[in-house]
Amino acid sequence: MTNRNNYAAKMALKKQSRSAAGLVSERFPHVSGIVIHMTYYQKGPNPVLMLRTVNIFPASYAYFKMDCVIKGCDGGGFDLTSVVDDMVKTHKRVRKGALVCCGKTDTHAPDHASIEYDIAIKYNKA
């Protein structure tokens, strides 16, 4: 029962964080879409854990924190907010990079997961 309560509390906090971030159309009115391609990596013999593409529309929340997919990771994830903010501020269309999960787990090393990302932003025509 405790696990269910913890999960419900975690999901409520995530929903609140998304709401607080506002909509893309409000925060970045001149952006018509964002596409984030990510490759998740883990330490071990099969390093590629998952490929993921996230499409973000003007009606989407301007929430760019992606959860860590390693089971048992606490407080981790990959926050792309500063990357997207900087891209919009400097009117960049494409950026590639990498991030390491800063979460903690009982069974994995501190740098247990990472992502490589490729972000493309499409702007409204002026």
Domain boundaries, the chain: 23-123
Helix %, strand %, coil % of the chain (to 5): 25, 35, 35
* Cβ neighbours around 64 below 10 Å, total: 20
Given a contact cutoff of 8 angstroms between Cβ atoms, the answer to whether 37 and 55 are in contact is no
Q: CA–CA separation, 13 vs 54, rounded Å?
A: 21
Report the pLDDT value the prediction gives residue 85, as an integer from 0 to 100. 96
Q: Is the pLDDT of residue 42 over 80?
A: yes
* Token pair of 2 as six digits: 């405790």
pTM of the model: 0.84
Report the pLDDT value the prediction gives residue 108, as an integer from 0 to 100. 60
Closest CA to 18 of 54, 61, 75: 61
Span 47-68, mean pLDDT?
92
